[in-house]
Amino acid sequence: MLRALIVAATLAVATLAACSNPSATTAFRATDITGADYGKGLALSDHNGTQRTLADFRGKVVTLFFGYTQCPDVCPTNLATMAEVMRQLGPDAERLQVLFVTVDPERDTQQLLAQYIPVFDPRFIALRGDAVQTAAVAKEFRVFFQKSGDTSGNSYTVDHSTGTYVFDPAGRVRLYVKHGETADNIVADIRSLLAGK
């Protein structure tokens, strides 16, 4: 009898824990960072010159990637993958906002970003700030970036973090997607978040 009561109590506690944690019953493909105490916000200009914050996209799943236009590999690969994600989502793509934050505001002007980002998908938004704003946003999201190569001129490269943050429609950071993840897996996670998981 006592053993049965202990088992029942344990099950009740587990059930309550699952109800209070929205990701407890969802097996995401990406790393679940629900409840993270960083990545709470940003305020940057988009490639059309409009000031943006994460609150502007409330009601949508948001993906956030840090990169730069002259990146030779990681950045265009990431953006091409996200374009495929949009294609696979079909009508649900309207409930996803892809954001690209430049870590190279010195060369990535508003005009250049306005030419670059729509090539992948016209619904994507590029964001930029000055050097101080960029450093602050990178710190908030624990993103590393640093010029390398010939930093005396304009032919440098930028070493940077390569993962993507994913926010749920309520504006909470939920997932961290490692570079190289498949579009199929990203789509599955986005569909879970759109379903309220």
Tell me if 9 is assigned to some domain: no
Tell me if 160 is assigned to some domain: yes
Tell me if 111 is assigned to some domain: yes
Is position 19 annotated in a ligand binding site?
Answer: no
Walk along the chain (197 residues) and give the pLDDT tens digit of each residue: 434 433 333 333 333 344 444 445 568 999 999 999 999 999 999 999 999 999 999 999 999 999 999 999 999 999 999 999 999 999 999 999 999 999 999 999 999 999 999 999 999 999 999 999 999 999 999 999 999 998 888 889 999 999 999 999 999 999 999 999 999 999 999 999 999 98
Tell me if 107 is assigned to some domain: yes
Q: What is the CATH number of the domain that holds 137?
A: 3.40.30.10
Is position 160 annotated in a ligand binding site?
Answer: yes
- 125-128 and 96-102 strand pairing: parallel
- Rounded Cα distance between 182 and 197, Å, is 20
Number of domains in the chain: 1
Place of tokens 């992948």: 120
Q: 47, 55, 193: which is closest to 119 by C-alpha?
A: 47
Tell me if 186 is assigned to some domain: yes
Range of the domain at 131: 28-194
Q: What's the pLDDT at 27? A: 86
Tell me if 164 is assigned to some domain: yes
Tell me if 81 is assigned to some domain: yes
